[in-house]
Amino acid sequence: MTLQGPSAATPTLPAPGRDPAAPGPLPSPASRQAGLRIWILEDDPKLCDLLAGRFGALGWRSVAFGDHRALEQALQQASPDLLVLDEMLPGRSGTEVLAGLREWGHAFPVLMLSAMRAPGDRIAGLEAGADDYMGKPFEFRELQLRIERLLVTHASRSGFHPAPRGSFQIGSLLFHAERAELVDSTGAVCRISRGDAALLQALCSRPGEVIGRQALALASGSLVDPSQSRTIDVRLGRLRRLLNGLLPEAGEVIEACRGQGYRIRVPIVGINTP
C-alpha cells in the first residue's frame, strides 16, 4: 500500500473491501512489542488517521499532532519512543522543529517523512538531527521496517534498553523521568531540563554501574563527540551539584570515575507508573 502526503489530493486507499488499518505483511518480531509509542507531527489529518490505524494494528500506540506547538506542549509531560516528522508544517518547518528538539536535549529517534525528496532536502533533515528520512509517497511496510530498525539501533548505540517508564526513588527524592521533575519529601518540585532528565534516567536505570561518557552523551541526545568536548561533563557537574544540594545527607550522589565515566551511588528504586 502506497501512502501519499499532503502534496496529493487524497491518500491512495487499499482495494475496496479491505480495512485500511489492517497491515499487509505479517508483523516482524520487533513490531509485536505492544505499547511502543509513536508520535506523529503531520498537518494532513487523513494521513495521520491512516498511519494511526496501521500502527494500531501492529500494537503500537500513536498520537498525532497538527502543529509544533501541540507537540512541544505534550513533551512537557511525556516523550515518544520515536517521532515521525513532516517537513512542510504550518508556522515552522520540520527541520526547524527538529533542531529545537535536539537543542533541548530530546534524544528519541526521529524519522522525517516528507514530500520534499531532493538530495538537498534529505541532507538538511539529517543535518538537523533526523535519524532517517523517507519521501512521500511511501510503502507502509518500508516505513514499519525503518521504524523497527531505528528503535533497535537507538537502543544498541546508547548501550541501554529502554529504562522503566514512570519514576525512580533516589534516596528521599522522587524522580519523575518523563516529567523531568524531582520531588522532595515535603512535596516541593524541582524542574530540570529534558537533557538532564535523560542523563539522570540513564544513571538510575543502571544503579551502581559505571556508565561511559559516550553512552551518556547518546542517552541525553547530545550530538557532540564527548572525546572532543567536555560538554557532557559540564552538564553532569551541574546535575551533581543539584542532587548534592537536594540530598545533603547522601554525600556524593553521582560519582565521577576517572577515565571511565559516572555512576549513581545512592540506592535506587524503580517505580512503574502509567
Domains of the chain with CATH codes: 2-22+32-158 (3.40.50.2300), 166-272 (1.10.10.10)
What value does the mean pLDDT take over residues 129-138? 90
Tell me the percentage of the chain whose pLDDT exceeds 90. Answer: 28
**pLDDT, position 3:** 57
Residue 20 has pLDDT above 50, yes or no: no
Going by their DSSP bridges, the two strands 138-139 and 2-3 should be labelled as: antiparallel
- Contact, 63 vs 40, CB < 8 A? yes
What value does the mean pLDDT take over residues 245-257? 90
Between residues 122 and 28, which one has the greater pLDDT? 122
Cut 0.85: pTM above it: no
Q: What b/e string do you get for 184-220 counting C-beta neighbours within 10 Å, with b at 16 or more?
A: eeeeeeeebebbbbbbbbbbbbbbeeebebbbbbbbb
Beta partners for 3? 138
**Most confident range, picked from 152-166, 220-234, 254-268:** 254-268
Band of the pLDDT at 28, cuts 50, 70, 90?
A: very low
**pLDDT, position 214:** 78
Q: What is the DSSP letter of 8?
A: S
**pLDDT, position 42:** 94
Between residues 114 and 152, which one has the greater pLDDT? 114
Three-state SS at 87: coil
